[in-house]
């Protein structure tokens, strides 16, 4: 009986030893799994941190690009506004210059008939053979009057006879048979003198054309 009990005790001890060893193995496995899980968590955190660090420069780069685009738009807007202002300034200066040049146009048109009378009276005096009292004074007044108008920009159209008809500065009132073959389609006579005011036509020359 004692041997049997001894064997039983021995088996119980072995069984307990096996169970204890199995428990130790389980604990070791749990510790290993815990370490692996901790390593995985660390790797995950490191990956997230790296991704966050990569995303930050991208966001910063995006802000820089946005600022560059805004600066470019502002620059384009400034250039457009500057160009529009320059065009407006040039146009205004040109209009002002043209207005200054032609400011006396109405006055010139009003005095041209008087100048025509002077021209006709001068020709009448030149055709007379005898000396006419006051002729010298008349010519002096006519010359002075014309010089004043000339200083204001008035310029007569001269040397038109024998030249090609120009519809931009002349008005044909009639046509007659050309006295010479070379005068066909050209100015034969000037009925009323034309005038410029600072290169602008203020009165067309009334002419007769040879047919």
Q: What is the mean pLDDT of the chain?
A: 78
Q: What pLDDT does residue 4 have? A: 42
The encoded tokens of residue 111 equal 């005095």
Distance CA 209, CA 211 (A): 6
Q: What pLDDT does residue 180 have? A: 84
The encoded tokens of residue 36 equal 């692996």
CATH number for 102-210 (one of 2.30.22.10, 3.40.50.300, 3.40.50.80, 3.40.50.720): it is 2.30.22.10
- Mean pLDDT to the nearest integer, 29-58: 60
Distance CA 98, CA 92 (A): 10
Lowest-pLDDT range of 36-40, 53-57, 115-119, 204-208: 53-57
H helices of 102-154, in order, are 105-127, 135-151
pLDDT digit string, tens, across residues 67-77: 888 888 888 88
Q: What pLDDT does residue 50 have? A: 56
32 compared with 86, residue with greater pLDDT: 86
Q: For the chain, what is the radius of gyration of the CA atoms?
A: 56
pLDDT at 46 over 80: no
* Domain parsing of the chain, residue ranges: 1-101, 102-210
pLDDT digit string, tens, across residues 113-132: 999 998 888 888 877 766 66
Tell me the CA distances in angstroms from 4 to 8, 14, 15, 18, one per residue in order: 6, 15, 16, 21
Per-residue DSSP letter, 82: H
Q: What pLDDT does residue 3 have? A: 46
pLDDT digit string, tens, across residues 186-207: 898 999 999 998 888 999 999 9
pLDDT at 27 over 70: no
Pairing, β 205-210 against β 187-192: antiparallel
Q: What pLDDT does residue 105 have? A: 85
The encoded tokens of residue 188 equal 């034969």
167 compared with 100, residue with greater pLDDT: 167
Per-residue DSSP letter, 165: P
pLDDT at 25 over 80: no
pLDDT at 54 over 90: no
Contact 116, 205 (CB under 8 A): no
Q: What pLDDT does residue 113 have? A: 93
How many residues in the chain? 211
């Amino acid at each position: 009986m004692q041997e049997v009990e001894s064997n039983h005790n021995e088996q119980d001890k072995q069984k307990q030893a096996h169970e204890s060893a199995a428990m130790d193995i389980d604990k070791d496995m749990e510790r290993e799994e815990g370490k692996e899980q901790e390593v995985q968590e660390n790797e995950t955190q490191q990956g997230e941190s790296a991704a966050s660090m990569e995303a930050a420069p991208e966001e910063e780069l995006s802000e820089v690009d946005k600022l560059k685009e805004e600066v470019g738009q502002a620059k384009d807007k400034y250039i457009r506004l500057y160009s529009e202002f320059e065009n407006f300034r040039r146009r205004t200066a040109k209009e002002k210059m043209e207005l200054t040049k032609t400011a006396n146009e109405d006055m010139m048109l009003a005095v041209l008939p008087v100048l025509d009378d002077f021209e006709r009276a001068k020709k009448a005096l030149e055709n007379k053979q005898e000396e006419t009292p006051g002729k010298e004074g008349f010519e002096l007044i006519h010359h002075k009057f014309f010089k004043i108008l000339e200083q204001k920009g008035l310029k007569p159209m001269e040397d038109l006879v024998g030249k090609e008809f120009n519809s931009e500065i002349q008005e044909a009132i009639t046509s007659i048979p050309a006295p010479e073959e070379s005068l066909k389609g050209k100015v034969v006579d000037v009925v009323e003198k034309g005038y410029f005011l600072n290169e602008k036509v203020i009165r067309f020359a009334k002419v007769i054309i040879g047919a």
